[in-house]
Amino acid sequence: MSEFKIEKVDMSKDPSLERYSRQMRFGGVMEKGQRKLLDSRVTLCGCGALGTVIANSLVRAGVGFVRVVDRDFIESHNLQRQVLFDEADIAANLPKAEAAARKLRVINSGVTVEAIVTDINRTNIVELAKDVDIILDGTDNFEIRYLINDVCVKFDKPWVYGGSIGSHGQTMTIIPGQTPCLRCVFEAAPAPGEAGTCETAGVLAPIVSIIASFQVAECIKILTGQPETINRELIYVDVWENITRRIKIAPLLGKVDCPCCKHKKFEWLEGEQGSQTTSLCGRNAVQVAHRVAAKLNFDELASHLKLMGGDVSYNRFLLKFTVEEYEFTVFPDGRAIIKGTSDLDKARVLYAKYIGH
């Protein structure tokens, strides 16, 4: 039996840019564009289906700093489309942002990946957004998208919307002042239960990859300093019904009476704080969050819960326990996702009973 010695190649010490040679050979990027990518900073909001595809491409493309923000943990039904996760991540009870960052650092040690496990809201969005060049949308809800839209319009930052469900998806690129913003195109979020969710309507991996890939292409154009090449239409694709649509939205800029980009009213960012208790659409689960982040001691909480008859396991990222017919996932900042109910009041009562106020 022959013996192979595998040596670890430290690409971060390789100044030659060889790993990006095929991308640099492309006329739209070249060495100049590649160097810009390496100097660029991106915040990715949400690291689920769209987010894992986006993060994978950004890190392979050599975007110098990628901040991955996600509030959730990994479940087996994510693996069908969330390309950075595997069974070992589930066994290790890793939050999505942390699991993604670990994979991404192995893919490309020459760029910086920052994992942030948090619920994006109006109290932290500015901090997450202010030191980056662009924001990419990997979220699954309009509440956060309108918040991203507010921050980007207010601070004059580009962002790329993407959404997918079933076999179809949409994407558009927002450069404040130059294109319509999200609220110009979609004046309000779909009412709960109206538009379907990935849990109720399902979702195919191919449409996720297509939409996420459009988002990354737009990102590369902007980061390499070529905003004139962006797509200025709303792209709509359905991979099952064989529909590709490019909807002209540019004339909406200035034509609609947009509270955000026309009147500079940032209702999601500056308005009354939204509910701290959120029903996770279609999942029979509720998220309970604190206004001010707490700092939980999992050792103490675990022993307390065991006394109350709960089945508890934890690592430094999250604590899981099952009691009655409910499954709790608790994060160090005090946030909890409670599975087994979609009733907000019931969830608050359960939280108070087992975790405290």
Partner 1 sequence: MPIKVQIPQAMRQHADGQANVDLAGANIKELLDNLGAKHPNIVARIFENGQVRRFVNIYLNDEDVRYLDNLQTATKDGDVVAIIPAVAGG
Beta bridge partners of 65: 41, 112
CB of 320 to partner 1, least distance (A): 24
Q: Which helix (H) or strand (E) holds 126?
A: helix 125-129
Residue 198: active-site member: yes
CA-CA distances (angstroms) from residue 312 to 118, 304, 321?
22, 10, 4
**Lookup: tokens for 347:** 């969830």
> What is the residue-wise DSSP string for 278-296?
EEETTTTEEEE--SS----
**Binding of residue 140 to partner 1 (CB under 8 A):** yes
Tell me if 187 contacts partner 1 by CB under 8 A. yes
Q: Rule CB under 8 A: say whether 325 interacts with partner 1.
A: no
Distance CA 178, CA 184 (A): 12
- Does 284 contact partner 1 by CB under 8 A? no
Verify binding: residue 245, partner 1, rule CB under 8 A.
yes
- Residues 6+ positions from 194 with CB-CB distance below 8 Å: none
| Residue 50 found at the interface with partner 1 (CB under 8 A) | yes
Token pair, residue 191, equals 């009412």
Report if residue 77 touches partner 1, rule: CB under 8 A: no
Per annotation, catalytic residue among 152, 181, 198, 260: 198
The C-alpha torsion from 177 through 147 and 226 to 54, rounded to 10°, is -160
**185 near partner 1, judged by CB under 8 A:** yes
Which of 29, 37, 46, 335 binds partner 1 (CB under 8 A)? It is 46
Q: Give me the least distance between CB of 281 and partner 1, in Å please.
A: 8
- According to the binding rule CB under 8 A, does residue 52 interact with partner 1? no
Q: Which is nearer to partner 1, 227 or 282 (CB)?
A: 282
242 binds partner 1 (CB under 8 A): no
Nearer to partner 1, 199 or 343 (CB): 199
Residue 159 sits in the site that holds partner 1 (CB under 8 A):
no
Q: Using CB under 8 A, which residues numbered 287 to 316 contact partner 1?
A: none
**Structural contact between residues 265 and 325, judged by C-beta atoms closer than 8 angstroms:** no
Q: For residues 333 and 293, what is the distance between their CA atoms, to the nearest angstrom? A: 5
The only residue of 87, 225, 229, 247 in contact with partner 1, by rule CB under 8 A = 247
Contacts (CB under 8 A) with partner 1, residues 192-211: 194-198, 201, 203
Cβ of residue 187: shortest distance to partner 1, in angstroms? 4
- Smallest gap from Cβ 140 to partner 1, in A, equals 4
CB of 145 to partner 1, least distance (A): 8
Q: Is 48 in the site for partner 1 (CB under 8 A)?
A: yes
Considering the complex, state which of residue 108 and residue 171 has its C-beta at the smaller distance from partner 1. 171
Residues written for the chain? 357
Q: How far apart are CA 116 and CA 338, in angstroms?
A: 21
Query: Which of the ranges 1-9, 32-40, 139-147, 261-269 carries the binding residues for partner 1, by CB under 8 A?
Result: 139-147
A 10 A CB-CB count for 23 gives 18
Give 77's contacts (C-beta < 8 A, 6+ positions apart). Answer: none
Let me know: does 72 contact 85? Beta carbons within 8 Å: no
- Residue 301 CB contacts under 8 Å (≥ 6 apart), including other chains: 319, 330, 355
- Contact yes or no for 176/227 (Cβ under 8 A): no
Residue with smaller CB distance to partner 1, 23 or 52:
52
Residues between 162 and 181 that touch partner 1 (CB under 8 A)? 162-170
Two tokens, residue 17: 């840019």
Report, in Å, the least distance between residue 73 CB and partner 1. Answer: 17
Strand 233-238 and strand 168-174: the pairing is: antiparallel
In angstroms, give the least distance from the CB of 316 to partner 1: 27
Active site residues: 198
Residues binding partner 1 (CB under 8 A): 46, 48-51, 137-142, 162-170, 185-191, 194-198, 201, 203, 236, 241, 245-249, 251-252, 255-256, 281
